[in-house]
Structure 1
Amino acid sequence: MLKEKNYIPAFKQLKGTLLDRIKEMEPDTKFQSVRALRKEFNTSQATVDKALYELESEGFIWKEPGKGTFVADRKISETEKKGAIALIIPQINISSFFADIAQGAENKIFELGYQMVLCSSFEDTRREKEYIKRLLQNNTEGIVYVSSTSEPDSYLHLDEIASQIPLAVVDVALKNFNCDYVTTDDEAGAYEATNHLINKGRKKIAILTVSRDTSTMVKRFEGYKKALLENGMPLGKKLMINPYHCDFANGYESVKKALDSNFGADALFCASDNLAAGALQALYERNIKIPEEFSIIGYGDLNPSNPYNLPLSTVAQPAMEMGKKAIELLNEKFEKKRPVSSCKEVILPTKLKIKQT
């Protein structure tokens, strides 16, 4: 039975099922008739005809008028058997983090003998949906999804495909979805960064993070809070700066407002390097000396430029390893070691990189 509520067209679903069947058959074996296939899959003649047409065009079957359809004597290469793995990523050239995830994924994809399809979403949900629709209509074995958005609603469309095709999400944990995910230990990373600022003698440490209910931001806030509470440090509203988006502009505007309100902090932990870069711009315009008067630590190791021309201290994530692990999770499902709808979590350690801020 073919699934009606599915991104994959009925004839593509049927073609995939028949191709799996053909791979197990000897050359010149007579194949089922159109009538038999229609009855077995409860589908239309047009659907069966289109599936058989593509299989014949690709050399998997041949037809002899008056006698029927037969399995072709065609060797199927390993690449044809395995198909392609798609990587949906915001934009590979805006961040070394995304580029490294893609590189790690590509290396593993090549090692396993698959092909890679790279899709840049530009944080556009409509574009992502269209990519997913096209990918599922073609020979795509699985999808790795990477996003930098902090909006929980932007992930809802993934739930529709998680039971149809192996899906691995990178850098955010979607625990209510039927997919795998690869993240880093964000709570431990934030905890270590905040403790470093405390050990440097900073007395009022603020946090700059978006107030969105995503696993990454929640964990980073929890790590920050844990370090302060363990050291008897203040945790006040003025020290919690919550921009709407996780980018340079929001980091700049939010810290500028905090400085206007005399929030009194002497250090800042930022939940992303992009926010940190914006914060540094606001601090620079107030002639605040870094790191003599004020310390700042980012998250992600993205190496953003800043007006101080100082390398940003940051919590680094093992991006290449994250990409590699995502492919390994998909491969477990390809090899039938786990069902498509199963969920598995991989949490990798972070590393605090102290530079000059």
Structure 2
Amino acid sequence: MAAEPTLKASDKQGISKKLIPLLKKQHGSATPKLELPVLETILFAICLENHSVDDAQELFDRLKHSFCDLNEMRVSSITELVEVIGDDPEAEHRALRIRSLLQYVFESSFSYDLEQFIRKTQDQAQKFLNKIPHLSHFVHQFTLLQVLGAHVIPADADINQLAVWFGFTSVKSGEEKASDSLKSSVRKSEAALFFYLLRAASSDEKLMKKVIKEIEYSEGENFDLMDAPTRYTNLLAGKASKKKPVAKTTKVAAKTTKKATKKTTGKTAKKTVKKAIPPKPATNKPTKKTAAKTVKKKVVKAKKKTTPTKKSKKK
């Protein structure tokens, strides 16, 4: 397994500058303008996680039209919300997050107004979001990005896979680590653009099938960020990455060391076996014991013979 990528922020930003034009060319440069109240922005973030922007917008609109208002949405059951969400492997999780969000906001203020959120600092806003049950890290980050314009890059499971394949983060790192690594890869002014480009790319089913296939081929090894632009261009052209993941040779080195240790241990084992042959003197011990036994038997017999002769003399 290759080590965690340890590139400097300046190196990451240099690669990002090369990737952004390529992503723009493939997926467009339009950044959606969401002019929503704070609470609805959080609802939209729940819809956007592991969804394209278009699918998220469709789900968001469907939720709003299926219920009279947010209060009716709040008092609905998880089953009712799942029916509205429709065919989605994460339908129950989304439904739980929606209801938990609305329930928490209503119980804390008896209203659905969160506009005071805008006046909070990033730390204060993060603490507030942490109090809401079941919200994911992605929802937190998207809300901070969209409402406060914070320097963050939200990363869900799909964006995390893309970040792994580019080489921004390691194969075994989670979404939070991917988010932190992506954040240091761009300046604050480019954060929103970079996020939406990653969202668009990670929503491309054809592209992601190839990405996932190459991640599986890597067998747990990390990818080299320095050649990410070239690999991305080749992937779009239908060419498989010829370059293997980072530190693939370490695995071979590990195998050779194992073989070497096996050979050396085999030789030492043979030597120890030769030395471990029991010496001949060890066989003399039982003969001494048998000799001692025979001596004792002779002594006993001699006593038995002498005792009757003494008795006959007295008579």
Q: Shorter-chain TM-score: what band?
A: under 0.3
More helix by share: 2
- Higher strand share goes to which structure? 1
The structure with higher relative contact order (CA 8 Å, sep 6+) is: 2
TM-score, normalization by structure 2: 0.23
Larger Rg: 2
TM-score (norm 1): 0.21
